Amino acid sequence: MPLLGHAMSAPTHTPKPDFRSYAAPSLGYALFATRWLQAPLYFGLVAAQGVYVYKFFNELWHLVLHVLSGQVNETHVMLAVLKLVDVVMIANLLIMVIVGGYETFVSRIGLQGHRDQPEWLSHVNSNVLKVKLATAIVGISSVHLLQMFVDVDHTSHHSLMWGTIIHMAFILSAAILAYMSGPMEGHSQPMPGDPVPGRRRATLPSGDLNLPELGELPELPDRSDRSDRSERADRSERDAGRPVSAERDPAAPVVLREYIPAQGKNGPRELKDAGGAELRVRAAGFPARKLLEEFDDDHQRFLDWETITRLGTLDFVDTHENAVFLGPPGTGKTHLAIALGMRACRAGHEVLFATGSEWVSRLTAAQAAGRLTEELAALDRYALIIVDEIGYLSFGAEETNLLFRLVSHRYERASVVVTSDKPFARWSEVFGDTPVTYAMIDRLAHHADIITLKGDSYRLRGQGVDRALAAAGDSH
């Protein structure tokens, strides 16, 4: 009984837990629950929103009456319209405070995938909310100042002067807040298709993924000629629609896993706000948390660490490319996929993880509800989706069509990471020998890094059956 031998060892003594250690978490949870005290405040703002709705239609009614009676001139009409605009802008400010504040400080509303979800709510956080509120206040101040200039004959110079000074103060404070919140950080990210500087450059992490300080790599042998040749060869294969082989020149210098670039200051990706990153990791649906630095390659007979290191910089997400991990069970495909997903989350990207069968179930439900197109469009908010465990279960023709719709919709639009225990040549066993299967492979493999893992199962290591399973997997 080799598989059970490790379970028959003598039981170990488990020390009695110190129940005093539970006091601190319980107190923290109690304090965290007090956030619900803010919920009535937001409902109070909803009542204020109703007051502004009444004020808007009251002003509009009086404007219509005065226009029909001929008692107003152009200046009066302009002032009345500016009052309506002012009411609308204040109402917009209330909406941002109510919805954004509740989402940020109380609880998630869960509008993901809803067709009426506001664009700004998909990436709202405390910094974004503050900048948007400051911008809205500047807009409202602009309307008030414009009202003064339109009615300049009835406005004192003293009021005009202070109105202008106050408006400039609002503009200055909004600019300072925007600068401190870093809303321009998105401009530092390359646009899809643009060359990414330093694509092959790696740095040496000083520790865990969250540690900010990084050192430089030791000087490596010059391999610019080989890199240029391999890059041109890879690009020509991709342009021809053929998968790029994961096996590189055996004589090439090996990039060790210690050189996987970490995230943090001066790294390839600056770590975004920790709170937002944690929310993205939780929302991604990972079955466990994995890091590239923790990957155990002792059971691997060959592993292309150079490509994995490059994937760890997340350049493939910026350029809307894909990554495919192929190999027998237990070789670490899911570990690598989750690790890349977590890196993307901490770099500010939205990520969604599910197995192949779970993706099929989700798309089947959307199709049954008559909203498959809307569901695929809603998935565009995710810069990276992960499709795990392709190959363990077979799919029917309709299910294959749904997965093809998913891959085809994201082709050159957003990134996909796929794990499978079968090479592409055997995907016909999973999806059927149909044109749809080959079309799905064609779109998935184009602009993709395909990494084949060869080795013993990590889970069965030392149990006497790992070598036999690995040999059986390699023989197919």
pLDDT at 402: 96
* Rounded Cα–Cα distance for residues 185 and 188 (Å): 6
pLDDT at position 122 over 90: no
Report CA-CA distances (Å) from 259 to 136, 198, 200, 214, 334. Answer: 46, 15, 12, 11, 21
pLDDT at 302: 72
Query: What DSSP element (H or E) covers 122?
Result: none
Tell me the residue length of the chain: 476
pLDDT at 465: 52
For the ranges 22-31, 41-50, 147-156, 354-363, the maximum mean pLDDT occurs at: 354-363
* Rounded Cα–Cα distance for residues 103 and 41 (Å): 13
Closest C-alpha among 444, 449, 466 to residue 328: 466
pLDDT at 300: 72
Mean pLDDT of 274-280: 83
- Confidence tier at 330 by pLDDT (50, 70, 90): confident
Q: Please, what is the average pLDDT of the chain?
A: 75
pLDDT at 71: 79
* Phi and psi at residue 318, to the nearest 5°: -65, -35
* Phi and psi at residue 331, to the nearest 5°: -95, 0
* Rounded Cα–Cα distance for residues 179 and 351 (Å): 27
pLDDT at position 439 over 70: yes
Q: For the domain 203-475, what is the CATH code? A: 3.40.50.300
- Confidence tier at 86 by pLDDT (50, 70, 90): confident
DSSP letter for each residue of 155-167: S-HHHHHHHHHHH
* Phi and psi at residue 454, to the nearest 5°: -125, 120
* Rounded Cα–Cα distance for residues 411 and 419 (Å): 17
Determine the longest span between alpha carbons in the chain, in angstroms: 99
pLDDT at position 124 over 80: no
pLDDT at 72: 77
Q: Which of 395-400's residues contact partners 24+ apart within 8 Å by CB, and which partners?
A: 395/356, 395/360, 395/430, 395/431, 395/432, 396/432, 397/432, 397/434, 397/436, 398/364, 399/360, 399/364, 400/431, 400/432, 400/434, 400/436, 400/437, 400/440
DSSP letter for each residue of 93-110: HHHIIIIIHIIIII----
Closest C-alpha among 332, 338, 373 to residue 355: 338
Per-residue three-class SS string for 344-401: HHHCCCCEEEEEHHHHHHHHHHHHHCCCHHHHHHHHHHCCEEEEEEECCCCCCHHHHH
* Rounded Cα–Cα distance for residues 365 and 172 (Å): 50
End-to-end CA distance of the chain: 28
Is pLDDT larger for residue 204 or for residue 304? 304
Report CA-CA distances (Å) from 54 to 63, 87, 219. Answer: 14, 10, 70
Report CA-CA distances (Å) from 320 to 48, 253, 341. Answer: 44, 28, 14
Mean pLDDT of 429-453: 94
Cβ–Cβ under 8 Å, residues 87 and 57: no
Q: Which of 366-371's residues contact partners 24+ apart within 8 Å by CB, and which partners?
A: 367/402
Mean pLDDT of 391-405: 94
pLDDT at position 160 over 80: yes
What is the C-alpha radius of gyration for the chain, rounded to an integer number of angstroms? 29
* Rounded Cα–Cα distance for residues 274 and 210 (Å): 9
- Confidence tier at 113 by pLDDT (50, 70, 90): low
- Confidence tier at 218 by pLDDT (50, 70, 90): very low
pLDDT at 173: 86
- Confidence tier at 276 by pLDDT (50, 70, 90): confident
Mean pLDDT of 104-114: 71
Q: 416 has which bridge partners?
A: 385
pLDDT at 129: 67
Amino acid, res. 411: Y
For the ranges 70-79, 135-144, 356-365, the maximum mean pLDDT occurs at: 356-365
Closest C-alpha among 316, 212, 312, 221 to residue 258: 312
Dihedral sign for Cα 336, 339, 344, 347, please: negative
